[in-house]
Amino acid sequence: MRKILTLTLCSFILLSCATAQSVSKKKENNQSEPLKLQTPKKSNDKIKDYDKVITKDAISDKGLFDVHLVGDKYYFEIPMEHLNTDMLLVSRFAKLPSNLGGGYVNAGTKTNTRMINWERFKNKILIKEISSSAVAADSLPINVSVKSNNYEPTLYAFDIAAFSKDSSSVVIDVTSFYGSDVKAISGLGSRLRSTYKVKNLDKSRSFINSVKSFPENIEVIQDFTYNASNPPVNTGDETISVQMNQSMILLPKIQMQPRLFDERVGWFTLSKYDYSSEELKSDRKTYLRRWKLIPKDIEAYNRGELVEPIKPIVYYLDPATPMKFRSYMKEGIELWQKAFEAAGFKNAIIAKDPPTKEEDPDFSPEDIRYSVVRYVASTTRNATGPSVSDPRSGEIIESDIIWYHNHLRSYRNRYLLETGAANPLARTLNTPDAEIGEMMKMVIAHEVGHTLGLPHNMSASYAYDVESYRDGDFTQKNGIAATIMDYARYNYIAQPGDENIRFVRQLGPYDDYAINYGYRYINDAKSAEDEKSTLNSWVLEKAGNPIYKFGGRGSYDPTAQTEDIGNNSIKASTYGLKNLKIVAKNLPSWTSDQTNNYEDLEELYGELLSVWSRYVGHVVTHIGGVVEETKNPSQEGDVFNPISKSDQKAALSWLQENAFETPNWLIDTSILQNINYAGYTDRIRSLQARHLNNILDFERLGRLIDHNALDAKNYSALELLSDLRTGIWSEAKSGANVSVYRRNLQRVYLDAMFELMTKDLDPNRSRQYYNVNQSDVRALVRGELNVLKRMLTSASKTNTNTETKYHYQDGIERINTILDPK
């Protein structure tokens, strides 16, 4: 029966294809050869003889594809063996106007990354974008359905211009592809086109700058000029000119064996749906993005000896990097050598100066063969660590760390503000070179960590006790967090008189642990699944030790916050504010008194307010807070655990005293009256409003309602609202007059209560996990407002201060409007 069905199917296929193409003869063993498109006959005038296309005047460059320049046309000569082969097409800016994209777009910024195949269809060559997000084994029937339901787009179609003389390659004209505005590889996406009102590409001012072919990649540089009504730099010419670099690189024929992701160890990942799974659904598999490191000597590696990798990770410095910074940048890169030693490798990551023209005339930071620390002339204060990876396996192919020139100014300012009280070296605008170098080294190390695959780990600073930050020996050995990947920049806890303190972050034990997890070579594993038990054993070995915890995915967890240090943010913020008060008092003498102008004083005072706000924000997170302990079902304990009622009440008490009582120490006339003519009271109001609004937040109240419903011992939304009202409106009970700062804050409270009575969860930022209108929120707010109304009615009758009396009367009217809008 099977034979009859097979013959019937074959007959149907042959009949269907007879009018389109010829069928090859059967071999003697009765097996048919694959169908092949034959080289067209010369009668097809669109396909010419090779010599008539690639003439003797051609300027040729041999490589992945041979590239030919004939007159003003560029041709690719594509070997047949590279058709239907996976490649990566990466577009990035080589040059661009200032402020394009708003500060975080620069020379070296990737705009598109696509996996492609060059495919032949009749007399055309197509560029097909290939997706690897849905996969199935070729041998399984479902693979046909996966391909049918994930049909890939055609990016471009080329007419075949000629075949090589031995028919081993096909020639196409790529001038139009690289010389016109092809959206798939353009640097200007729809958002930028809309922002700058881009009309069209001006072909008269656009051209292909160069095309270079190397053994595994091709690099194309385009100069494009667009007509735009609203360019980022408006000089009246309505023009945007950019230089794009298009890299095409051959992906490895033998894919790196992927490594499975475990959410208990932080990592950048890629995911795909595997329809080969025996499960009753598609199996979502998530793999690490990582470099491919294989020991040179596997036997020595297995004996526990440190072994160099066959191909180390190499970073080059940008030729634009100032000479005085180069040693710090190289040291920052190579700090990771120690972490790789924990994974059994030595010299796994190497930093190099940019080669000279004599050493490598083809060197370019945009060339995808090179990983480069880009030094960007920009006023942006930041650094980033993006990378390019093989979407099939997660293998990192190349990365570019972006260092913005003005970034050190941010570090100088925060060094002064956060450590100046206890650190004499920070009390200046001219931070010593050694201190700046140490900061730069650690920033580069942090960004390198990203390019190795590591995301931020905001739990790492919680591993250390607050008091340990005042211990010189401890800080010199351990730094200020268990990983460089936390946003823990400076030791703001150490107090004046503490000795031998390390104030700047450094790599820690979590970095060794994570690098071992991602990069240790497991010799006997033949698949990602074979590694699973080994990887799990490594995680379980460290489970429960806060030094090796990964966290920081939710804004609800006070143990995993950005920019904080120590295992008790209430205590840490208390130390931080003590130091900040000292800094505020000395700020003019450390800035304007030295420079004889107020520019730096104004900038640093503004940043000082931001530091105050950060310390306060760390405490706010305790209210309605939840500690997340990522674990598997085989491990004891729950994943999500509410903060205790006592800790939440302590946090609110701290906030009433340090945030909502007027911070008079921030209101310094020697600063304020020298940097601005007005706005003093509103600046304080806006700072306090941010945190009061954050407390009176739908999500926070919803969590408190949930937690109290599960256990009546947990802090409730009613208790929070009652405690908050008592503190914010304390003058109404005590009979004291209300200052302008407190009056402003109390109006913020009323506005926030109005929002709770009339608005809903913001769908743009919130998970809609409860129905506000049908929850307790409105009832609780209504009840609190009625209690407050009675308080204010009584207080307005007894208080004799006119401003306070008017304020209370206004408050009553506002409450009436909230409760009865009609």
Q: Which candidate, 749, 475, 459, 808, places its Cα nearest to that of 627?
A: 459
CA torsion angle 291 297 301 303 (round to 10):
170
Residue 38 has pLDDT above 50, yes or no: no
Helix (H) or strand (E) run with residue 639 in it = none
Which letter, b or e, does each residue of 42-81 get, where b requires 16 or more Cβ atoms within 10 Å of its Cβ? eeeeebbebeebbeeebeeeeebbbbbbbeebbbbbbeee
Residue 778 has pLDDT above 60, yes or no: yes
- The CA distance from 639 to 339, in Å, is 29
Burial status of residue 276 (CB atoms within 10 A of its CB: 0-12, 13-18, 19 or more) = middle
Per-residue pLDDT reduced to its tens digit, 630-679: 999 999 999 999 999 999 999 999 999 999 999 999 999 999 999 999 99
Which letter, b or e, does each residue of 582-606 get, where b requires 16 or more Cβ atoms within 10 Å of its Cβ? ebbeebbebbbeeeeebebbbebbe
**Token pair in block for residue 402:** 């972006």
Three-class HEC string of 665-720: HHCCHHHHHHHCCCCHHHHHHHHHHHHHHHHCCHHHHHHHHHHHHHCCCCCCHHHH
- The CA distance from 569 to 133, in Å, is 41
Residue 162: φ, ψ to 5°: -170, 170
Block residue for tokens 């509103």:
682
Give residue 601's pLDDT: 96
Give residue 37's pLDDT: 41
DSSP letters of 446-507? Answer: HHHHHHHT----TTGGGGS-GGGGG-HHHHHHHTTSS-TTSS--B--S--TT--S---B---
Q: Which residue has the higher pLDDT, 505 or 18?
A: 505
Give residue 796's pLDDT: 94
- The CA distance from 694 to 720, in Å, is 13
Q: Which of 425-429, 478-482, 522-526, 688-692 has the lowest mean pLDDT?
A: 522-526
- The CA distance from 761 to 770, in Å, is 9
- Annotated domain spans of the chain: 53-250, 256-275+284-621, 629-822
- The CA distance from 371 to 788, in Å, is 62
Helix (H) or strand (E) run with residue 609 in it = helix 599-620
Per-residue pLDDT reduced to its tens digit, 326-343: 999 999 999 999 999 999
Question: Which residues, 6 or more positions from 211, have their beta carbon under 8 angstroms from its beta carbon?
Answer: 61, 67, 69, 74, 178, 218, 219, 220, 221
Residue 555: φ, ψ to 5°: -80, 0
Average pLDDT over residues 76-103: 91
Residue 415 has pLDDT above 70, yes or no: yes
Give residue 98's pLDDT: 85
Give residue 177's pLDDT: 95
Is the CB of residue 559 less than 8 Å from the CB of residue 640?
no
pLDDT > 70: what percent of the chain? 91
Per-residue pLDDT reduced to its tens digit, 726-761: 999 999 999 999 999 999 999 999 999 999 999 988
Residue 401 has pLDDT above 70, yes or no: yes
Residue 222 has pLDDT above 80, yes or no: yes
pLDDT band of 414, cuts 50, 70, 90: very high
User: Where do the DSSP E strands lie in 289-395?
Assistant: 313-317, 349-352, 371-376, 383-384, 387-389
**Token pair in block for residue 131:** 């997706």
**Token pair in block for residue 698:** 């739908």
Average pLDDT over residues 161-184: 94
- Residue 217: DSSP 8-state: E
**Token pair in block for residue 438:** 């140490």
Residue 592 has pLDDT above 50, yes or no: yes
- The CA distance from 679 to 693, in Å, is 21
- Residue 658: DSSP 8-state: I
Residue 12 has pLDDT above 50, yes or no: no
Give residue 554's pLDDT: 75
Checking DSSP bridges between strand 198-201 and strand 169-173, what pairing results, if any?
A: unpaired
Give residue 276's pLDDT: 67
**Token pair in block for residue 186:** 């353009």
